Structure 1
Amino acid sequence: MNPTRRTVLGGAVAASAAVMLPTATAAAATPKGGRLSNLAHLDFLRASVTPPAASGHSTFGSGPLGVLWTYADRQADGSYKRIGGGTYDPVTNTYGQGAYNADDISRAAVVYLRHGELFHDASSLAAARGLLRGLAFLQSPNGNVVLWMQPDGTLNPSADPPELPDPSDSGPAYWLARTVWALGEGYAVFRRTDRAFADFLKARLELAVSALERQVLTRYGQYNIVDGRRVPAWLIVNGADATSEAVLGLAAYVRAGGSARARRALAQFAEGIAAMSAGSTTVWPFRALLPWGESISDWHAWGAQMPSALAAASSALGSRRLLDPAIGDTAGFTPLLMTAGGPDNGWLPAPIDRTQIAYGVDARLQGLLAVGLPGLKQVAAFVAAWYFGANRAGEAMYDPATGRTYDGISGDGVVNRNSGAESSIHGQLSMLALDAAPEIARLLGRPTYDGLRVVEAESATGGQVVTPPSAWTGESQWSKGSYLSLGAGESATWTLPSSSQPVLVLPIVNLVDTPSPARTTWTTGSHVLGTIDHVTGPQGISAAPGALLPITLATPLPPYATNLKATATAPAQVDALLLIPMISTLRLDNGTLLTSVDSHPRSVSVPGRVAYSYTSTGQLHSRTNPSHAVVQPGGFTVVLG
């Protein structure tokens, strides 16, 4: 399930029978035979159910359906309790939401499909078949999908707390997109071994595509306005994240000979995702594919499978044009994210949500591997290392001996030792990807970072600190829940951390739609670094007036400069300062990742055996001695050994 549905570091919401399983080891030992993937914990979460009859709902064949418990909460004695969502009623044995859900059933089916294919495992394909049958039962005649099912198989279209849309099968949703993902990959696998079942999956996928055509793709070619920018209006639930998961299924289906209408839907959805590419080497969000079509100020990690989806669509459609935004995201944004503290959950636009969860880690890893350039595979090793202890907690988040992935790490390094369906699924998807790519280096060690830093605007001398009623604006979030207000002619001064490098400075300011905007001038000593006009375009469908955005000053802060001053011509709001050294660094015991926001090559000296220097598009530039390594403009360098 999505972290918006249940706090990733929260406790149990209900109880079920406790089942004892071994606890995860502190270190990530390679299991016997070297295989990382282990479906034991996911098997523990699986169940079967014979649901009561539900009008309009059917599936392939007869017999119990495969389902999956939503959460698994670790108990004090080391056992794990399988948990549903919402408040549990022991009298009726029901949950406010349900025990099983389409989001997790669909993604678990993908795990078992990929495991069965990679290892030629008939039992995994049988498990996938059962889950796909359960998923099909959740699909309504209109092509949409009921999200929740109770322990006895009763459908719960209107959950408590409610989901949108409500009822859950009344419109497009994340769970419809994920159903397309599972059905597409399922068809591609079973068409070779069970034609009757594959034909059933094809019919259900075509039913889902029909729903997407009717509810979403009628807007193809239309654009919404979000604070002056054009954003595609034909994304599923206005999300490139949701759309990317549907694209993964459509690409698999099209590669397997799917219909012309599916190919058309794939091309249109992929075009919409590609249009969400934003920024540049020096401009926020640094070539990331933004996940949400209602904000130009929000990047989040969960569900952000846009680069892997574009790579899949590029392959299925033979379109190089679709691959370029995926390269920008993986070669540009991901190295910067990793050197700034690892795979954090949300830059909103400051790195506010520093929780790290397998869902987001897996999306980064899958994108790097799907694009497939050799340099990106080297970056993938740094992302994968998160699972094995290279994280701010310094603990393994995945245990090959049990197949368990913990539910996340908080911003202050506390591990949530629950292991629910979502983390288990995405941990296994990552392990399967690594098993399929044994050339990916195993990097170890506690990471050290020298990258993006945040200085809160409220730390300034001058101005007035304002704390709004809510930190969330409706499309972005005030860092630390407050901001600095400057009046006309007023100045504020910050003392910044010293750096031996020039530093890119990006004040996060509130831009407004007005004919007479404020202007702020930013100086250090007698040097002007740049000016910002606090203006944006029309609000459009954005939930809040104005846009909270980092704006790059034209001139970097010189080395060792620690003074920054801003002077406003009219009332202005400043949230925080993002400071990015020209070369950002992530160091592990046996590897170093460097990335550049400079406009010129920079020479560095780094311990190690060999340095691989890559351009901003992920192409190998040179292989050198680390004592004379060069980081290319907007590119990255990997040092190993």
Structure 2
Amino acid sequence: MLKPFLTAVAAAALFATPVAPALATTPSTHAPGQTSVTNLAHLDSLLDSVPLRAGVAGHTTYRLAAEPTAEAPWVYANHQADGSFQRVGGGAFDPETGYYGQGAFDADDIARAAVVYVRDWQQNHTASSRRHAYELLRELTYLQTSSGPNAGDVVLWQQSDGTLNPTPTPADSPNPSDAGESFWLARTLWALGEAAPAFGSADPSFARFLGQRYALALAALNRGSLTRYGQYDVANGARVPAWIVTQSTAATTEATLGLSAWLKANPRDAATRTALGKEAAGLAAMAVGSPGTWPFGGFLATTTSRSMWNGWGGEAPAALSAAAAVLGRPDYQAVAERAVRNFIPQVLTTGGPDNGWTPTPFDQSQIAYGADSLVESALTVASHSHDPSLRRLAGVAAAWFFGANRTNSPLYDPATGVCVDGVAGNGDVNRNCGAESTIHTELTMLSLDAHPDVRALATAGTSVVSRTGLAVVEAESGTLAGGATLASPASAWTGSANWSGSYVQAAAGASVTIPVSADRGDVVHPVVNLAAEPTGTTAWTATLAPGRVVPLGSTPNGGLGAQGIAATSSALLPLTLPPLPAGTVAVTARVTSGSLQLDALLVQPAVAHLTLPNLTLTAPASGGFTITR
């Protein structure tokens, strides 16, 4: 479950009568030293004791009778005027029952918090982190259904008194939340896959229990999407894997992280090796494009859309690289490395870890989840390619937390462990600091502390000096001729993409001339609403400053193919024209046959750049990147 920027903002206004008291965040026993940036104090403050009710059918956990409570983090933490934080749950609060429409705690955050504490315990030998990991894992496995037809699936929400809420308001999908495959099942696999090996020698009895629950989760995955392994769906003419977890790259990524961690510790586990091979094959199929062709080798967000990348799915290269290492699949490593080398530099030079390119950078709000995903991908791929330049790229991505963002101010305080819930596209900062944001912030900090050279780059990147990346030039800014008209979509969201604004509708003989300011080698990607059936072609030309016109070739107006599982029969997709000549002042689209719906031009610089106080990242349109200091 994702708690995006606007959801957290709304939470501050909705929950006027919270259950939990306000907490001031103070440094923990794991306070940072002069160089360490990991500080779990704020995450510690979100944890609360949860009663675990005995006698609930299908729900039990390790040593329930002897230890009838566990721990879980509150979902949200609203920033107060005095600097403290008010812990709140999800959904509308009922003061009579003390319940939230969703709950106080959720399996998504419990699982990911457990990953944080396991990694801190393993990396820093922090005794308190071992204890928190133990309690969180007992809580997570209580939420996991242990018997019956849904064994292995997970109830998402729980109230502060321990009551499970499998059908919240609004309802989850699936509903009830343990009725099938889900993000929270994938994250449970992630937590158990990392935690069980960690406890192997420290607490063998608990490790065996976690292994049993891992097996339950794996069985649930096997009876879910993996029953469709080898089958393919069609989405707007593209062949897509039918076995992706909940049709989501992000969910598949997190399941893959857990499977890879388990298999690394248990290389003879044939069942995990088989499942991981299937998940990795699905992930690899979601990477599309190449240098100069959108999305430049990145991973699409979902099998239902050919137009969408999201920031929180940005850890797919990390997951595929981890799988490649344990499976012995250099071809998968190559896919992951291609995405990191070609796509992540385009993201960083354009504006940073945006929530969504759909297909233009439409959702420019940014959250720790997306930022952490870029850092983890660059570091993981670097660890398996042994390329130091990828480590430096991770440092550039991590600088977002320390000031290299659109606010030019820190979004994380290592002295307290406090982060922010997000930055809006206009630079407004959401000062709340809920569980998801804290978890992904600390995952980045743990990675930085494990790689001091990367940490040094990140912490020195305290502002953005300059940035030049992908630019959106709206089609409606052009001059219409020959009967071309402007149209406004009823909604920006089509079901699988976003119109960036109005669009130009043009029939045969009509044209639109759009002013651009371009250097030699800049690449224009017309964002066209391509129809399923062939609907003619459009010829493109570049107008140079002296008035000379240079042909740029032609593109189809349709011909995608069958709609399949996509939400609409047409799809907004960036096409690719040849590099522009020097002196281009306008680009003209002239419909030669059929009809055209043109949303915008996505202009990719010949060489994009991001300059921080300590370095410059350059990313040629032809692919790759360099970092100079």
TM-score over 0.5 for the pair: yes
| Counterpart residue number, 1:407 | 421
The equivalent residue for 1:446 is 463
Equivalent in the alignment of 2:485? 464
Deviation by residue 1:292-329 (Cα, 9 ceiling, x = unmatched):
11111110011432111111111222221221111011
2:61 aligned residue: 59
Q: Which residue of 2 aligns with 1:21?
A: 24
Q: Are residues 33 and 23 of structure 1, via their aligned partners in 2, closer, same or farther at CA, if it must alter by over 3 Å?
A: closer
Indicate if the aligned counterparts of 2:368 and 2:437 stay in contact, CA closer than 8 A: yes
Query: Secondary structure of the residue that 1:165 maps to in structure 2?
Result: coil
Q: Is the 8 A contact 1:116 1:122 kept in 2?
A: yes
1:297–1:475 Cα contact (<8 Å) kept: yes
Pairing partner for 1:504 from 511, 523, 540: 523
In structure 1, distance between residues paired with 2:625 and 2:299: 19
Structure 2 residue aligned with 1:637: 626
* Selected match of 1:157 from 166, 171, 181: 166
Matches for 1:526-565 after TM superposition, within 5 Å = 526-535=549-558, 536-553=560-577, 555-565=578-588
**Residue 630 (structure 1) aligns with:** none
Report deviation, 1:458: 1.4
| Contact 2:355 2:366 survives alignment (8 Å) | yes
SS at match of 1:562: strand
Question: SS of the residue aligned with 1:411?
Answer: coil
Residues 461-486 of structure 1: per-residue CA shift (max 9 Å, x gap): 21322122211111111113x32211
Cα distance in 2 between the residues matched to 1:20 and 1:113: 24
**Aligned equivalents of 2:26, 2:469: Cα separation in 1:** 34
CA drift at 1:592: 0.1
1:513 matches 2:532: yes
CA deviations on 1:248-304 (whole Å, 9 max, x unpaired) are: 111111111162111110111011101111001011000002121111111001143
**Larger mean Cα displacement after TM superposition, 352-361 or 286-295:** 286-295
String of CA shifts for 1:197-254, please: whole Å, max 9, x gaps.
1111111111111111111111111111111111111111011210110111111111
Task: Specify the alignment match of 1:202 in structure 2.
Answer: 211
- The yes-or-no answer on 1:476 pairing with 2:476 is no
Matches of 2:20 and 2:263, distance apart in 1 = 42
Q: Does the CA-based 8 Å contact 1:70-1:100 persist in structure 2? A: yes
Computed over aligned residues only, the root mean square deviation of the Cα atoms, in angstroms, reads 1.6
Distance 1:213 1:257 in 2: 19
- In structure 2, do the counterparts of structure 1 residues 104 and 593 end up closer, same or farther at CA, with 3 Å as the change threshold? same
What is the letter of the counterpart of residue 75 of structure 1?
Q
Please tell me whether the aligned partners of residues 20 and 78 of structure 1 are also in contact (alpha carbons under 8 angstroms). Answer: no
Give distance in 1, aligned partners of 2:200 and 2:314. Answer: 29
Offset from partner CA, 1:119-175 (integer Å, 9 cap, x none): 111210110010000000001122100000011010000010111111100010000
User: Per the alignment, do residues 9 and 457 of structure 1 end up closer, same or farther by CA in structure 2, a change over 3 Å counting?
Assistant: farther
- Please list the CA deviations of residues 523-554 of structure 1 after superposition, one character each: whole Å capped at 9, or x if unmatched: 1232111211122121111111111100001x
Instruction: Count residues with an aligned counterpart.
Output: 596
Alignment of 1:36-75 (within 5 A): 36-53=37-54, 54-62=56-64, 63=67, 64-75=69-80
Asked if the contact 1:95/1:150 (under 8 Å) is kept, the reply is yes
- Of 146, 151, 166, which aligns to 2:155? 146
Question: 1:594, 1:199 → 2: CA distance?
Answer: 49
1:93 shift after superposition? 0.3
User: Are 2:68 and 1:101 equivalent residues in the alignment?
Assistant: no
Residue pair 1:226, 1:538 contacting (<8 A) in 2 also: yes
Corresponding residue of 1:614: none
Contact 1:349–1:548 (CA under 8 A) maintained in structure 2: yes
On the 8 A contact 1:387/1:397 being kept in 2, the answer is yes
2:90 matched to which residue of 1?
A: 85
What is the CA-CA distance between 1:9 and the residue it aligns to? Answer: 4.0
- Distance in 2 separating the partners of 1:537 and 1:215: 28
Equivalents in 1 of 2:130, 2:332: separation in Å? 31
In structure 1, the residue matched to 2:293 is 283
How do 1:242-391 residues align onto structure 2 when only pairs under 5 Å count? 242-257=251-266, 259-372=269-382, 373-391=387-405
Q: Deviations over 1:394-431 (max 9, x none)?
A: 11011101111101110011111000000000000000
The 8 Å contact of residues 9 and 408 in structure 1, kept in 2 or not, is answered as no
Cα 1:5/1:96, change in 2 over 3 Å: farther
Work out whether residues 16 and 81 of structure 1, in 8 Å CA contact, stay in contact via their aligned partners in 2. no
Q: Which residue of 495, 500, 503 corresponds with 2:515?
A: 495
CA drift of 1:31 comes to 4.7
1:558-573 → structure 2 map (5 Å cutoff): 558-568=581-591, 569-573=593-597
Deviation at 1:20, TM superposition (A): 4.0
Code of the residue aligned with 1:561 in structure 2: it is T
Task: Please give the alpha-carbon distance, in whole angstroms, between the structure 2 residues aligned to 1:9 and 1:557.
Answer: 42
1:9–1:410 contact (8 Å) kept in structure 2: no
Map of 2:546 onto structure 1: none
1:18 and 1:79 in contact (8 A); partners too: no
1-side partners of 2:101 and 2:540: how far apart? 53
Shift of residue 519 of structure 1?
1.1
CA distance in 1, matches of 2:179, 2:195: 24
Q: Alpha-carbon deviations, 1:504-524, whole Å to 9, x = none?
A: 00000011111x413111112
Deviation at 1:76, TM superposition (A): 2.0
* DSSP 3-state at the match of 1:398: coil
92 and 358 in structure 1: CA distance in 2 versus 1, 3 angstrom threshold: same
2:184 to 175, 190, 204: 175
Residue identity in the other structure for 2:485: Q
SS of aligned partner of 2:366: coil
Deviations 1:23-55 (A, max 9, x none): 99xxxxx95331110000000001111133321
Unaligned runs of 5+ in 2: 544-548
Q: TM-score, normalised on structure 1?
A: 0.91
Distance 1:562 1:336, change over 3 A: same
Give the residue type in structure 2 aligned to 1:99.
A
Alpha-carbon distance, 1:4 to partner? 5.7
Q: Quick check: 1:524 aligned with 2:542?
A: yes
The amino acid that maps onto 1:489 is G
Give the Å deviation of 1:8: 4.6
For the residues of structure 2 that align with 1:304 and 1:540, how far apart are their CA atoms? 25
